[in-house]
Structure 1
């Protein structure tokens, strides 16, 4: 093994060691950021629960459904929709390619 080969091997080893160190530091940065987010969420949840416990209970008022007026149409049409075959035939007859 020549000196040049040893230098290249040492450089590769140093590069791999440096990448491993950077990986550890980036992992610890991600872990710290994730912990900060979780802590903040827990703090906000505690504040929300305390606020909800302090305010008086709300009463829910149910709306009455009004009876439909005679002669007034409801939201749905009373006409029956055509069958698929009939609808496709009308589309073809109307000049539409299906």
Structure 2
């Protein structure tokens, strides 16, 4: 065996490779968690947008109904003031 092969099989080498493997696994889990949270945030934003738009549509419909139900205000003619 070469010197390199024996170094890779040493307890320090094994511990180092285990730490690298664990770090890689944790990194993948962290990225998946961040991605899942981003999806949840976008889903919540879409839900809130739908609620806001529905509320706006209801308000516009109520305003339109109020406009059609109430008579148009009478237009007053402006009186001219005489100059002194």
- TM-score bin (small chain): 0.7 to 0.9
Counterpart residue number, 1:9: 24
| Alpha-carbon distance between aligned partners in 2 of 1:5 and 1:57, rounded to the nearest angstrom | 77
Q: Which residue of 1 aligns with 2:12?
A: none
Distance 2:28 2:62 in 1: 51
Runs of at least 5 residues in structure 2 that lack an aligned partner in the other structure:
1-15
- The CA deviation at 1:4 is 0.8
TM-score (norm 2): 0.74
3-state SS of paired residue (1:46): helix
Instruction: Give 1:31's aligned residue.
Output: 46
Aligned-partner Cα distance in 2 for 1:61–1:36: 42
Equivalent residue, structure 1, for 2:59: 44
- Give me the TM-score of the superposition, normalised by structure 1: 0.64
Gaps of 5+ in 1: 70-98
Classify the secondary structure of the residue corresponding to 2:79.
coil
Give the drift of 1:64.
2.4
Q: How well do the aligned residues superpose, as a CA RMSD in angstroms?
A: 1.4
Shift of 1:60: 1.3
How many residues end up aligned between the 2 structures?
69
